[in-house]
Amino acid sequence: MVTTPKTVIQGEILKKTHKVAVIGGGSWATAIVKLLTENKCKVYWYMRNESAKTTIEKQGRNPNYLTSTVLRKKSLFLRTDINEIVSNADVVILAIPTAFLVDELAKLAIPLKGKIIVSAIKGVIPETLQIVGEYLHDSHDIPYEDIGVIAGPSHAEEVAMEKLSYLTIASKDPRKAILISALLKTKYVRTTTSNDIIGTEYAAMLKNIYALAAGIAHGLGYGDNFQSVLMSNAIREMKRYIRNVHKLKRNINNSAYLGDLLVTAYSGFSRNRTFGNLIGKGYTVKSAQAEMNMIAEGYYACGSAKSMSREFKTRTTIIDAVHAILYEHKNPEKVFEKLSRKMN
């Protein structure tokens, strides 16, 4: 059997003008739009905020997120009608918090089926306790071969500043993984592909919870020594969890798993670490949410992951500790004192 080299496929892709829809108006959506327009894609961008839409059309900047990032207006087609956006696209990239996804997709009067649907979301659907790929497959009848996942490790802020970043693109169809990879690859963003669509999505969900734990520890005054042990235990817990969910040969030390965990747990750009830090300093969940201008996916993911861990019969010491603080209103200092005795 003769296979087409990856570089040849990428070259074929970039010779074409692809029409891509982006659903979402936040930091990650804005960074993705920047990459797509640099690769000369026609980008149909769904924005719920009419004021933000108008500003982007006039100034080429998102007034609410990554405000210093200049976007190529000639390649952008912004609309507040999700149906108009999706109907024009070959590829649809979802980049909105999971808490809003079901309601937004409910506005569709046209099917998603028949298009390539890409999740840039790192969380669990609260209504169904599913990762995005599973939800799209079950609720919108999208074949897994038509679903892609954009995984890290990367922060939107560094992509916007054109700092060297890495993305992992997962799909069960290798040609679609290469296609999505080519659309996002630039001189400062390097991409790799994977067939582990389920594992990368679960890893992206779990690492947000572990970043919350890292933030709580920092807010409580724990130092780097404890943080390193916490993350060592976190990657082992992640490995157990994903293995029980979806058995597949994977290297948990690869960038899509360990790399994404580390950047989310340690970076000052991490909204989940920031949220956890506020909790560790004594903020309530509501007050911490009010303090931040962005959604911390790890909060919603923790509730879902705790429920699913019972189903999968997985030992989740760190998730249990974070859940006790966020959902059971236990004292963070006491919870982490007990957690620290279980670390090794």
CB 55 within 8 A of CB 70: no
Residue that the structure tokens 């790929």 belong to: 133
* Residue 130: count of CB within 10 angstroms of its CB: 19
Q: Is 163 a catalytic residue?
A: no
Q: Where are the alpha helices (DSSP H) in 169-316?
A: 174-184, 197-220, 224-245, 260-266, 271-280, 285-291, 297-312
- Tell me the backbone φ, ψ of residue 123, rounded to 5 degrees: -175, -170
255 Cβ contact partners less than 8 Å away, ≥ 6 residues apart: 152, 153, 166, 168, 192
Annotated active-site residue in 53, 176, 207, 239: 207
Helix axes 174-184, 27-38, angle to 10 degrees: 90
* Residue 110: count of CB within 10 angstroms of its CB: 12
Residue that the structure tokens 């659309």 belong to: 183
- Coil, strand, or helix at residue 87? helix
Catalytic residues: 207
